[in-house]
Amino acid sequence: MNRAPLQRISEVTQRFPRVSLTHTPTPLEFLPNLSRHLGVNVHVKRDDCTGLAMGGNKARQLEFHFGEARRRCADTILITGAVQSNYVRMAAAGARKCGMDCHVQLEQRVPHMDECYNRSGNVLLDRLFGATVYDYPDGEDEHGADSNLERIAESLRAEGRRPYIIYLGPDRPPIGALGYVLAARELINQRDNLGIRVNRIVVASGSSHTHTGLLMGLRIAEDLTPVTGICVRRNADLQRDRVRNCASDLEGMLALAETVTAGDIDVRDEVLAPGYGRVSEVVMAAMRMAAKLEGLLLDPVYSGKAMAGLFAGVSDGYIQPSESVLFLHTGGLPAIFAYQSAVEEALHGQPENAGIGASRLT
C-alpha cells in the first residue's frame, strides 16, 4: 500500500511531546469460537495489554498528557473520574513511573453501590500507588469536577508544587486523543501485514477521545473503515455531538481541514440502559460469552458494554454476516472485582445467551 498517508499521521502528531508508557504494538487476535457462534468474523485489538498498571486504552492517551506535563516541568498530576475510573488508576501509575506525585478526585457517578465497589478494583490500586484521594459528590457535573481540580491545584501551588491537570470536560484540548491517532497507524500496519480484512471497528465511546482519535487517524491515513462507537455514558444524540466536537477540536490542534465528517460518526446506544456503570443482563451475557468461548476477560463498564453492543448489532442485522469486525478491547479489568456482587449474581442466575441472538448460537 501507499505508505505516505501513514507517514502523515507521524508528521501531524510529532510536534506534541510524548513519554513512553505502553507496551506496543498490542496484539491483534482472531476469535474463532466467538466468530463461529455469532456468524461474523471477529478480531480483537488487545489494548487491555498496554502494560501500564494492568493495561487499558488510557495508557496511550496518558503518553501525551505526561509529555505535556514534563514540558511544563510539572511535579504533580491531578485527575478526576468515576470511583472505578480506569483513567485515574493509570494516571496514578504513570505519575509514579514518571517520578511525580498524584492527586485524584473520585466522582460519585454510580449510586447505590456496595462497599466492594467503593474499596476494591481501581480504588484499591489508586491507594496502592499512593495517590492522594478526594471525593466529589456530583458525578454528572463535569465543569464542577474540573473547577474543583483547579481549586486543589491552587492549594498545591501555594505549597510550592507544580501541578498539571488532566481535565474531564469537553471544553479542553483533546490531548489524549492523540494517542489513538497514532494507534490507527499501528492498527493499519498490523491489519495489512497480517492480511486481515476489517469491514468495521467497534469501540466503547465515553469521553470520546479513543473513538475520535482512532477515527481521525484512520481518515488522515485515507482509510475509510467505519468506526462504530458503543455508548457507555450518554445517549446516541449526545454522544454524536461529543464526537463531532472532539473531532473539530482535534482538527484544530493538528492544523487540519475537515477530516472527520458528520457521516463518519456512527454511535449506537441500544445497550446503554440502565446507564453509566450500571450492569445489565446483556452486558453480563457478553462478558460470560467472551470468557467461556475465548478466555477473554471484559469489564462491566466499557469493554463488556461494547461487546454487548457488537452482539446487538449482529442480532438486529446492523452488522451483516458477511462482515469482518475488529473489536477494540479498552481494558478496565480491575473493575471486575469492584462489581463482584453483580458478577456473582450473573453466574448463578442469568441465562447464558441473554441478549445475544439465539439463532446465531445454535
What span, in angstroms and rounded, lies between the C-alpha atoms of 310 and 131? 36
* Burial (0-12, 13-18, 19+ Cβ within 10 Å), 226: middle
Reference 305, options 295, 315, 290, 326; nearest CA is 290
Distance (Å) of CA 317 to CA 79, 287, 322, 343: 40, 21, 11, 29
In this structure, are strands 132-136 and 200-205 parallel, antiparallel, or unpaired? unpaired
**C-alpha cell of 12?**
501531524
Is 322 catalytic? The answer is no
Task: Tell me the residue type at 93.
Answer: A
Catalytic position from the list 10, 85, 147, 359 = 85
**C-alpha cell of 178?**
492523540
Contacts of residue 358, defined as CB under 8 A and 6 or more positions apart, other chains included, come to none
Provide the CA 183 distance to its chain's centre, in angstroms.
13
* Long-range contacts of the stretch 116-119 (C-beta < 8 A, 24+): 116/337, 116/338, 116/339, 116/340, 116/341, 117/83, 117/84, 117/338, 117/339, 118/83
CB 281 within 8 A of CB 29: no
- Please report the DSSP string for 159-174 in residue order: TT--EEEE--STTS--
**C-alpha cell of 262?**
458528520
Distance (Å) of CA 352 to CA 280, 287, 298, 338, 355: 13, 10, 15, 22, 9
In the numeric block, the cell 494507534 is attached to 183
Q: Can you tell me whether residue 355 is helix, strand or coil?
A: coil
Catalytic residue ranges = 85
